[in-house]
Amino acid sequence: MDLSALSHIYAQVPALMLVLARIGALFAAAPLVGGPYAPATVKALLAMAVGLILLPGIDAPVVILNGGFVLQIAREFLLGLSLGFLMNLYFQGVKMGGELINRHAGFSAAENFDPEADIGAGPMGDLLHLALVLLFFAVDGHHLFLAVLAKSFTVIPLGGWSMSPQVQDVLWRSVADSWRIALLISFPVLSAIMAITVAEGVITRAVPQINVMHLSFAVKIGVSLSVVYAGLPAAVAMLGSVLLTMQTVVWVAMGS
């Protein structure tokens, strides 16, 4: 290998570092591969592979190794974190809706320790999260994930991103969306639980001799499962709208 080839490779190293900062931060915060769901070694290898694939098609600026280069690395890292955080908010909103069902329907005793997420997880939260993951792959969401990553280098050049008021507004709206999704998913079950609780109060006041609390747990679990089973088609349709909203929000955050 001659010196000209070596100098060309060396000239691409700073641009590759910027690309890897964005991709690595995205993989660290994005759903499915982000957080504790994938080992750090897998994330690093994926980021390196994707970065090497995308680098030839990126219009990389001339990078000077000085203090400004460190700021550019920080910008790329924050951009990747922001995009991954936006995507993850919608997945966590769905899981939070399942956890609300667990708490009020009587499934809290069935919580188990999830070694992948390093948290306690209930059956309904796992069910809804798994349904969203399967739907994500069924609609080729992983292709969308890679398309967003590749498009981001066209829409936002290396070192050209800033935390604009538009991005801050999108972040705040996405946080509100995650809470809204959780409430919408859990609302049918929580409404049924509320009706059962009111009925328990009425029966207790009318006939104090009846031990309503002894039967309420089984009744709440049975009614909750019936409501979830009856609402599965609507829940799947809503999960599809969640993925569509996530896609729209990510494009808006990138300014495209």
The structural domains of the chain, with segments of one domain joined by +, span 3-254
In this prediction, residues 142-158 reach a mean pLDDT of 79
* Distance, CA of 153 to CA of 80 (rounded, Å): 11
Q: Is the pLDDT of residue 175 over 70?
A: yes
Q: In this structure, what token pair is assigned to residue 254?
A: 């990138």
pLDDT band at 10 (very low <50, low <70, confident <90, very high): low
Q: In this structure, what token pair is assigned to residue 202?
A: 């009425």
* Distance, CA of 233 to CA of 182 (rounded, Å): 17
Half-sphere exposure of 144 (CA within 13 A, CB side): 21
pLDDT (0 to 100) of residue 114: 56
Contacts of 91 (CB under 8 A, 6+ apart): 31, 32, 129, 132, 133
pLDDT (0 to 100) of residue 3: 46
* Distance, CA of 143 to CA of 113 (rounded, Å): 31
Is 179:93 a contact under the CB 8 Å cutoff?
Answer: yes
Percent of the chain with pLDDT over 90: 0
DSSP for residue 119: E
Residue 40 CA: distances (Å) to CA of 34, 47, 80, 141, 216:
9, 10, 16, 22, 45
Residue 234 CA: distances (Å) to CA of 123, 194, 208, 238:
19, 21, 39, 6
The reported pTM is 0.78
3-state helix, strand, coil in the chain (%, to 5): 80, 0, 20
Q: Is the pLDDT of residue 84 over 50?
A: yes
In this prediction, residues 105-125 reach a mean pLDDT of 63
Q: Answer with the residue of higher pLDDT: 179 or 43.
A: 179
Instruction: Point out the least confidently predicted range of 60-64, 66-70, 175-179, 241-245.
Output: 60-64
| Burial class (CB within 10 angstroms; exposed 0-12, middle 13-18, buried 19+) of 111 | middle
